[in-house]
Amino acid sequence: MNPGMERVRVFTNVTYSTQAFVGVNESTIVVSFRGTRDTNNWISNLDYFRVSYWDKACVGCFVHTGFNCELQSLWVKMRKYLRKLVGKKGIERILITGHSLGGAMATIAAANLVSQNYMFASGLKILLYTFGSPRVGNMQFADWLLASFCRVGHESYRVTHKRDAVPHVPPMWFGFYHVPHEVWYDNDGNTEYTNCNDIKGTPCSDLTVTEDPNCSDSIIP
């Protein structure tokens, strides 16, 4: 952990085997979700049923039942703590990140923060960085989150690697789609990457997601 991290608080739910931490590094609130750890997580990961996303502004939106339950196992307490932190002087952004299952939880958490505008001081920016995240919701959810980020200048990056199978599940034929923007590493041991073409349309209100067949989907759609 960065030695400059302050106000660190760890959130754990034993029943769901979920964990996350929240801290502050200078002007940035950092929210990090742990990845898959044990059998409980795998049971939730394989729950491909979908549940309606709670924000009615996200019309027709569904998210993965298991990932949503795992986030909710931590979210009430995390949200309360985040509300305290966003009001601190000098806070400019909130960085949300996670690997594998943690990436899925981070994505839904970012959506929740976009929906809960009352949590944010004016101009507070969301940065969503996930690593090897599975697909989280349907196309309507992905389109809505993309447009919501675009309108206010939030940023989203989804890092994938050719040797990682997790980004290929749940499959698209189950109705799940990734949230852009994919950054694809088709290599071992170096830093070359591809900025994938996974967004169609302009302006923000007309954007729609796609998945670049030349990136992670080139291995398995």
Side-chain half-sphere of 152: how many Cα atoms within 13 Å? 18
Q: Which residue in 107, 87, 109 sits closest to 167, CA to CA?
A: 107
Q: Which of 47, 55, 164, 186 is catalytic?
A: 164
Backbone angles phi, psi at 83, to 5 degrees: -60, -35
Residue 164 bears catalytic tag: yes
User: How many degrees, rounded to 5, is the angle at CA 100 between CA 94 and CA 103?
Assistant: 20
Surface-to-core class of residue 27, CB atoms within 10 Å of its CB (0-12 exposed, 13-18 middle, 19+ buried): exposed
Query: ∠ CA 58-59-64 to the nearest 5 degrees?
Result: 70
With CA atoms as reference, report the closest residue to 216 among 199, 196, 200: 196
The Cβ of residue 14 has, within 10 Å, a number of other Cβ atoms equal to 9
| Cα 72 to the center of its chain, rounded Å | 14
Catalytically annotated residue among 100, 115, 133, 156:
100
How many of the other CB atoms lie within 10 Å of CB of 22?
23
Which of helix, strand or coil describes residue 177?
strand
Query: Active-site residue numbers?
Result: 100, 164
